[in-house]
Structure 1
């Protein structure tokens, strides 16, 4: 299969994956169509592509932590390369018909770790007094407030993913126990236009931080807003969809206790 045919096939098998074309996610996924053939021709497994993506992402964070603001262009470019490769593993898996839950698990895990690492790198950059001259637009804001915003953002990012995974797991459990058919994601229950808007701003501020360092702080603020919104909506729909009996769960726990 030549390159053009392969790109067309990748596009076809991903036709149902993009739910909103006006997002950075859709753009990055589209770019991945043209990068995926590299890994396909190298005969790399989907998990190997995932590990490659993780290495690039961790490298981005490490450079930011070690070398600071002077390397912010490289840090951001490597992070976006990580995002592109991150979509390539799914493309390869679908091409080879080798999708697996383990692949999805490590992919999601590495995503959380890489973004958390990047946020730590940005925090190091913005709080380092040696680079204060880069942050003149932020001079009027007490450094304590800036650091507090950064730390809250760093703490909330993994929480928003944890609550999503927990929601999905419990909805599947509710479906199994009560023979229901609730979709294990809140995306089917509400409009995500506002969420996509903040997600786009989150990506955009990362790029703009190359030209104006003040956008780093804005990136953290947007992440806090996005995290609180996602946490709130997951709790809201958990209350709506999970207000059912969990008697079978308690019975299993009791039986396990008797066996011990």
Structure 2
């Protein structure tokens, strides 16, 4: 979710718009990635207690972990372990969204909890193959005080923008599902991370055409990485058009 008045920000849970298929490449009602950050952000006061957020997470994360997507993700991570084995020292989650949306939107809340569970599952896998701690950082301008307290209760750190972008280095995992193009640009402006979970260059190209993507840095990320589609559960768009990237060679 984002602070539009601020240059550096993360993005809302659903920052994509839905349109009819374009150029025959996509079916109807698929989300389309957009580039510009909105101009307004409102951080609402919490309506849920910390205990209620914890209970929601235990239930929703548990449901996701019992789904095919979780098992497929574990298999996918295991099959790519050798590419970046032990090289990730920090994990940065951007644009997660709030666990306590002001209108009580259930779908938005559900996706925030599932994305958190997926991010932590990836970190846990990386940690199991490393001899050092993988520290986790979260940047999301619309987090309220209870959201922050919940993340901190898990042992992780919430940072303000632009610190999350500045933390990106060649030893980082960056996790940012359905972020604006402007945000991705800031993520990879200085370094291509060891692992990147988000919208791929190919997806942007499919929807907007290569002629409209003056985006050499994102193309470089695409060329440096081995890629795989993030496993999805049927009829669930939480990870639609989301790609896992593993950097297979150093930046030039």
TM-score calculated relative to the size of structure 1: 0.28
Larger Rg: 1
TM-score calculated relative to the size of structure 2: 0.29
Which of the pair is proportionally richer in helix?
A: 1
